[in-house]
Amino acid sequence: MRQRPKEQDKMERRHNFLPVEENLTAEQVKEEAARCLHCKNPRCVQGCPVNIQIPDFIKALKEDNLDEAGEIIRQTSMLPSVCGRVCPQERQCEGNCILGIKGEAVAIGALERYVGDNTEPKPAEIKPSGKKVAIVGSGCAGITAACDLRKAGHEVTVFEALHEFGGVLRYGIPPFRLPRTVLDREIKSLVDMGVKFEKNVVVGKSITLKQLQEDGYDAIFICSGAGLPKMMHIPGENLNGVFSANEFLTRVNLMHANEADTATPLKVGKSVAVIGGGNVAMDAARTAVRVGFEKVYIVYRRTEKELPARLEEIRHAKEEGVIFQFLHAPCEIYNKDGYVAGMKFEIMELGEPDESGRRRPVGTGRYVDLDVDTVIVALGTGPNPIIQKSAHLDGLDFATDKKGYFTVDAETRETSVPTIYAGGDVAPVGESNAINAMGAGKKAAKAINEYLASI
């Protein structure tokens, strides 16, 4: 039987930001590791974007070699404690587990998290290469690339626009899912390796790509994320009480806007509609519960079956009292004296599948109102054009797609401008999540290493 971690009481956790789940116990780890079949053709490894050798680290756990398990994971991933908590395992490693066909997959994420939390990376032997690399952004892609590039001996500097490091791991994911102590430990391991971090540097404003090149950086990896929110484009969207999920989560996670003595207080109303069905929507809704909204709705235009969020996050949201409204599409936000006074939705039904493979929502011509005083829009984000615009002024013209994302080689992540690479949410290839961003960072680092070895 699959082992499950102990969880904080669902009523208690509505009022705090403490981690919802504990680690598995050592006994549970042993029992769960024993369930692995050690397939000759391990589909779980194929399902992992960074190809962690999952059967090997589980075998080490079976044999009580915890440190060896940590070394095996860190050969390809520097963020086991993070990935064990936030990766969509049911669509990746665990989703490919043979045991999951007729029963329950091995709890790979929980095992990885246990290993990450209970082991330390071995000190790396670094031989200076004499080369310099700049990394723009300190999220998953940037941290991963920084690790691999530093191991190769290069001088690596990570530039972060915000006043704390970690990118979306810091400002987007709430501490009840990813404790800040975990993130701080992972970043400290890079500092101990000699990676330099500079905060409050907006590349494209504080300094340009051209200036980085003139400062002697032999290669640049852009992984600045996609911080431009996608909105609904409906009447009332500019009213007071309407937030993008990015703004709402950043204000709470990074600026502590929910705390009494904050310089940037958050106005908490009675009821909030969170528009969207992904992990960000779940994070926003569960955060809204904790900051004090009496009623929290997640409003999604498809059915529960099509929700893209992690299954654990959906379950936790329901347990915490979040109300799900399916087959509702936003039409209008009502206005009263410049503030949100409710929302109008069209009832939808599902038609034929669209390009994502999910059935397309189709309007029925029937409408309902929802009594809310706050709206949080969690429909995804797009790339901020600051870097591209400043680069254009310096004669560096990047190829982008119609949405403004960097166009990159799928394998090397090289942009149309030589020696400049891009990855993560600013140049997405596949699903946008932490582990795919890490995969992009590894591919970029490999390509940069090969290029630097040739000059």
**3 lies in a domain?**
no
Of 265, 285, 289, 266, nearest to 275 by C-alpha is 285
- Give a yes or no: residue 5 inside a domain: no
* Residue 4 resides in a domain: no
16-49 residue pLDDT tens? 999 999 999 999 999 999 999 999 999 999 999 8
Alpha-carbon dihedral 64, 65, 67, 71, rounded to 10 degrees: -130
Q: Please tell me whether residues 285 and 374 are part of one structural domain.
A: yes
Are 353 and 238 found together in one domain?
A: yes
pTM: 0.93
End-of-domain residue from the set 93, 118, 143: 118
Total structural domains in the chain? Answer: 3
**Shared-domain flag, residues 247 and 376:** yes
The interaxial angle of helices 26-33 and 54-62, nearest 10 deg, is 120
For residues 235 and 356, membership in a common domain is answered with yes
197 in Cβ contact with 160 (< 8 Å): yes
- Of the residues 118, 146, 167, which one is the last residue of a structural domain? 118
Domain limits for position 209: 132-227+383-453
Q: Are residues 264 and 370 in the same domain?
A: yes
Using CA atoms, how far apart are residues 237 and 241, in angstroms rounded to an integer?
9
For residues 209 and 252, state if they share a domain.
no
pLDDT in tens, the chain (455 residues): 999 999 999 999 999 999 999 999 999 999 999 999 999 999 999 999 899 999 999 999 999 999 999 999 999 998 999 999 999 999 999 999 999 999 999 999 999 999 999 999 988 889 999 999 999 999 999 999 999 999 999 999 999 999 999 999 999 999 999 999 999 998 999 999 999 999 999 999 999 999 999 999 999 999 999 888 999 999 999 999 999 999 999 999 999 888 888 888 899 999 999 999 999 999 999 999 999 999 999 999 999 999 999 999 999 999 999 999 999 999 999 999 999 999 999 999 999 988 878 889 999 999 999 999 999 999 999 888 999 999 999 999 999 999 999 999 999 999 999 999 999 999 988 777 888 899 999 999 999 999 999 98
